[in-house]
């Protein structure tokens, strides 16, 4: 499972912090979709639309007051956001306080008088603190370590955000700054092969495009011309298509139904006198691309798959691999070796994962420990049947609506659904309490087969999706000798990982609990449901809010 792909390590962005005393936060202008977000222009409300009544700058530089002396309506300012991406989440951060006029009008104590609206509809009502005039960030005093998120999902390229005061009571509101930014807590963790996607990779896309070429050699000519049958053997009949479907993607393949002769004999690419791993992969990948000939460009996410003739011998231990390519807009290719006919569709899918930038997840070091417990194809192509939730999310197959990000102290009872479910929460993400390059993920483990089941000498599954829950971390940059994704085992990793005992040791079932002394959250797997587990996540202190 060799991969020859250059990965770019991205630098890490800082954690968002907000300023003192209602002053502008230091990164107010970074990624802020609002103009004049600190009310610092000549007129504090420049670039803002005033609604209803007498919004004033009131001589107070860097703030805007929402005040309406007649109380007939709610004073508001609004601004239309443009170039939004439909389907993307945005968050609103506002530094504000009650105005001095509240007590004059008999309004004091905690009052929920400040509303954040999108397109005229209230999405969040905020409450002053008991002192009424102390600065707040969203729903928390400015001194708090975290604040509640105010988010909305864009359904069009423009939406109007409005800040409305005196809601339900005649207490005015002062706004120090506002920020609207794309929500980045669900962005990918920074750095490494599990991090943000980069231009060095191809986009997975909801439809995976495979351009399939059958190659043979003058010294090892083809035997069968039943290309459909050869492809069925490689993809395990409809199993590969079904696996992609469970993961939220479709696979589209075009079979070039003729044997293309490689320009050199097999013994040139796979010399029998040298170490098997020293095969001439550079010649092979260059010549393999040329087999496609000239013609129009392919879609940008196309992967070329070079399939060898069945039964060709002499490959020693050369394994199938993924490589860079540059031919008719194709930038990734997979070279399959003849043993692929004896393997599951998972070999091809593992290489497809490499094409999308994923690194290996099988053991990285000695002593041998297998730390993804057969739950991901990048870890093992014998037992696993698909990609973990994190990979699916990273490839763009996983809907953001199905992810719940938790960061605030509290107890959360969650009806966790299988990864293959299309509705409800099926993945929970928490930020590590101390490392901003590390995430924790809770999800339900997918199907796992045993070696006997894989070989067809036994039926059933080692794990059926819904039997077991898994908890894993994603950590970049990589820890030395470790892979970027590792299960947090309930008990331990067992040396022989393709067994129910090993799965039981790393996974969680009904009635079992995850708790670690140095981790400020625990997970109780309460009851098995028809399509997952009901779980309780208890967070004992606020966790960091941003991922990257």
**Of residues 227 and 315, the one with the C-beta less far from Zn ion:** 315
Min dist CB 89 to Zn ion, Å, is 33
**Of residues 1 and 255, the one with the C-beta less far from Zn ion:** 1
Tokens of 263: 């320009």
Min dist CB 360 to Zn ion, Å, is 5
Is the distance from CB of 154 to CB of 87 less than 8 angstroms? yes
**Of residues 1 and 7, the one with the C-beta less far from Zn ion:** 1
Q: In the range 434-473, which residues lie near Zn ion by CB under 5 A?
A: none
- Distances in Å between the Cα of 317 and the Cα atoms of 125, 343, 368, 515 are 64, 14, 20, 43
**Alpha carbons 355 and 332: distance in angstroms, whole number:** 6
Min dist CB 3 to Zn ion, Å, is 5
Collapsed DSSP state (helix, strand, coil) of residue 346: helix
Tokens of 322: 């993924």
Tokens of 372: 């993804």
- For residue 535, give the H/E element and its range: strand 532-539
Min dist CB 1 to Zn ion, Å, is 3
Min dist CB 350 to Zn ion, Å, is 6
Q: In the range 344-383, which residues lie near Zn ion by CB under 5 A?
A: 360
Strands 76-81 and 159-164: antiparallel
**Of residues 327 and 354, the one with the C-beta less far from Zn ion:** 354
**Alpha carbons 297 and 151: distance in angstroms, whole number:** 40
| Phi-psi map region of 467: left, alpha, beta (phi>0 left; psi -120 to 50 alpha) | alpha
CA nearest to 149, candidates 189, 116, 111: 116
Q: What mask, x for binding Zn ion by CB under 5 A, covers residues 309 to 348?
A: ----------------------------------------
Strands 302-308 and 207-216: parallel
**Alpha carbons 120 and 75: distance in angstroms, whole number:** 13
**Of residues 107 and 334, the one with the C-beta less far from Zn ion:** 334
Of 1-9, 26-34, 297-305, 482-490, the segment contacting Zn ion by CB under 5 A is 1-9
**Of residues 154 and 361, the one with the C-beta less far from Zn ion:** 361
The 10 Å Cβ neighbour count of residue 272 is 10
Q: Is 7 in the site for Zn ion (CB under 5 A)?
A: no
Is the distance from CB of 333 to CB of 2 less than 8 angstroms? no
Q: Is 1 in the site for Zn ion (CB under 5 A)?
A: yes
**Of residues 54 and 360, the one with the C-beta less far from Zn ion:** 360
Min dist CB 201 to Zn ion, Å, is 15
Min dist CB 436 to Zn ion, Å, is 28
**Alpha carbons 77 and 47: distance in angstroms, whole number:** 10
Q: In the range 133-162, which residues lie near Zn ion by CB under 5 A?
A: none
Residue carrying the six token digits 């040791």: 505
Residue carrying the six token digits 């439909």: 86
**Of residues 149 and 385, the one with the C-beta less far from Zn ion:** 385
**Of residues 114 and 383, the one with the C-beta less far from Zn ion:** 383
Min dist CB 378 to Zn ion, Å, is 7
284 Cβ contact partners less than 8 Å away, ≥ 6 residues apart: 262, 269, 306, 335
Q: What mask, x for binding Zn ion by CB under 5 A, covers residues 194 to 213?
A: --------------------
CB nearest Zn ion: which residue?
1
Size of the site for Zn ion (CB under 5 A): 2
Min dist CB 362 to Zn ion, Å, is 8
Min dist CB 235 to Zn ion, Å, is 18
Min dist CB 276 to Zn ion, Å, is 16
Residue carrying the six token digits 């013994």: 267
**Of residues 1 and 50, the one with the C-beta less far from Zn ion:** 1
**Of residues 149 and 235, the one with the C-beta less far from Zn ion:** 235
CA nearest to 312, candidates 231, 240, 214, 228: 214
Q: What is the DSSP letter of 436?
A: T
Q: In the range 259-298, which residues lie near Zn ion by CB under 5 A?
A: none
| DSSP, residue by residue, 252-306 | EEEEEEEEEE-SS-HHHHS-TTS-GGG--HHHHHHHHHHTT-S-SPPPTTEEEEE
Min dist CB 277 to Zn ion, Å, is 13
CA pseudo-torsion sign 393, 395, 401, 407: positive
**Of residues 50 and 478, the one with the C-beta less far from Zn ion:** 478
Q: Which residues bind Zn ion (CB under 5 A)?
A: 1, 360
């Amino acid at each position: 499972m060799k991969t020859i792909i250059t990965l770019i390590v991205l630098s890490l962005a800082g954690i968002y912090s907000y300023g003192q005393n209602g002053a502008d936060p230091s990164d107010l202008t970074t990624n802020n979709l609002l103009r004049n977000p600190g009310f610092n222009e000549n007129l504090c409300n420049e670039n803002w639309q005033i609604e209803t009544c007498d919004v004033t700058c009131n001589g107070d530089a860097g703030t805007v007051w929402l005040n309406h002396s007649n109380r007939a309506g709610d004073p508001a300012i609004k601004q239309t956001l443009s170039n939004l991406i439909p389907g993307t989440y945005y968050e609103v951060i506002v530094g504000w306080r009650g105005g001095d006029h509240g007590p004059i009008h008999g309004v004091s104590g905690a009052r929920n008088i400040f509303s954040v609206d999108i397109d005229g509809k209230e999405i969040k009502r905020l409450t002053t603190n008991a002192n009424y005039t102390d600065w707040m960030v969203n729903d928390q005093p400015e001194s708090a370590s975290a604040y509640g998120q105010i988010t909305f999902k864009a359904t069009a390229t423009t939406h109007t955000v409005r800040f409305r005061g005196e809601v339900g009571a005649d207490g005015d509101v002062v706004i120090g700054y506002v920020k609207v930014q794309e929500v980045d807590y669900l962005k990918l963790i920074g750095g490494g092969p599990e991090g943000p996607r980069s231009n060095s990779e191809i986009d997975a896309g909801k439809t995976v495009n495979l351009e399939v070429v059958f190659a043979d050699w003058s010294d090892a000519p083809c035997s069968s011309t039943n290309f459909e049958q050869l492809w069925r053997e490689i993809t395990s009949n409809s199993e590969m298509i079904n696996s992609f479907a469970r993961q939220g993607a479709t696979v589209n393949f075009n079979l070039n139904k003729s044997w293309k002769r490689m320009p050199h004999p097999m013994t040139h690419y796979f010399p029998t006198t040298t170490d098997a791993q020293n095969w001439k992969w550079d010649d092979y990948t260059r010549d393999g691309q040329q087999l496609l000939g000239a013609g129009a460009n392919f879609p940008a996410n196309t992967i070329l798959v070079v399939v060898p003739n069945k039964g060709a011998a002499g490959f020693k231990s050369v394994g199938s691999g993924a490589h860079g390519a540059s031919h008719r807009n194709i930038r990734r290719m997979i070279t399959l070796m003849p043993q692929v006919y004896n393997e599951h569709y998972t070999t091809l899918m593992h290489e497809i994962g490499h094409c999308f930038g994923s690194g290996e997840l099988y053991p990285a070091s000695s002593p041998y420990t297998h730390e993804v417990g057969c739950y991901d194809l990048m870890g093992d192509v014998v037992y696993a049947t698909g990609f973990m939730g994190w990979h699916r999310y990273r490839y763009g197959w996983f809907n953001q609506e199905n992810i719940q990000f938790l960061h605030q102290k509290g107890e959360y009872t969650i009806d966790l659904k299988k990864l293959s479910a299309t509705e409800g929460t099926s993945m929970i993400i928490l930020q590590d309490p101390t490392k901003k390059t590390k995430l924790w993920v809770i999800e339900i483990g997918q199907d796992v087969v045993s070696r006997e089941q894989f070989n067809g000498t036994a039926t059933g599954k080692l794990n059926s999706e819904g039997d077991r829950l898994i908890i894993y971390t994603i950590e970049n940059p990589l820890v030395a000798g470790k892979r970027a994704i590792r299960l947090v085992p309930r008990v331990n990793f067992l040396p022989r990982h393709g067994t129910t005992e090993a799965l039981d040791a790393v996974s969680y079932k009904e009635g079992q609990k995850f708790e670690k002394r140095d981790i400020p959250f625990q997970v109780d797997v309460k009851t098995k449901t028809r399509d997952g587990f009901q779980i309780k996540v208890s967070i004992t202190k606020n966790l960091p809010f941003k991922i990257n």
